[in-house]
Amino acid sequence: MERVIGTDELQSGERRSVFVDDIPALVIRIGDQWFVIEDVCSHDGQPMTDGELIDCSIVCPRHSARFDLASGRAMCMPATEAIRVFSVEIRDGAVWAAL
């Protein structure tokens, strides 16, 4: 596990670009839930950094593919493959993540 951010650094609905084991990732906070996803759309390989958050999902800003933040599952076309999600632990006032 790698420490990626302090739990006091994001409010609900905010995100931060980080690297986890040299992989570009997004840390996203929704309420008291924390998600860490690979910051790459499975449809066209573009970053999802600025994608709209809807409930517990993110929409790719390029072609509107939508992904579940917890499982990475593609929820609508044009994406058919999931995105990678990291295992997340909250401890010592920080978010820790690993593939």
The radius of gyration computed from the CA coordinates of the chain, to the nearest angstrom, equals 12
Q: Given pLDDT bands bounded at 50, 70 and 90, which one contains residue 42?
A: very high
* pLDDT cut 90: percent of the chain above it: 99
| Average pLDDT for the chain | 97
Q: Given pLDDT bands bounded at 50, 70 and 90, which one contains residue 39?
A: very high
The pTM of the whole model exceeds 0.85: yes
Is residue 9 a contact partner of residue 16, using CB atoms and an 8 Å limit? yes
Q: How far apart are CA 97 and CA 55, in angstroms?
A: 21
List the one residue out of 86, 87, 76 whose CA is nearest residue 42.
Answer: 76
The CATH fold of domain 2-98: Rieske Iron-sulfur Protein (2.102.10)
Q: How far apart are CA 59 and CA 61, in angstroms?
A: 6
Check residue 47 and give its pLDDT.
Answer: 96
Q: How far apart are CA 55 and CA 67, in angstroms?
A: 11
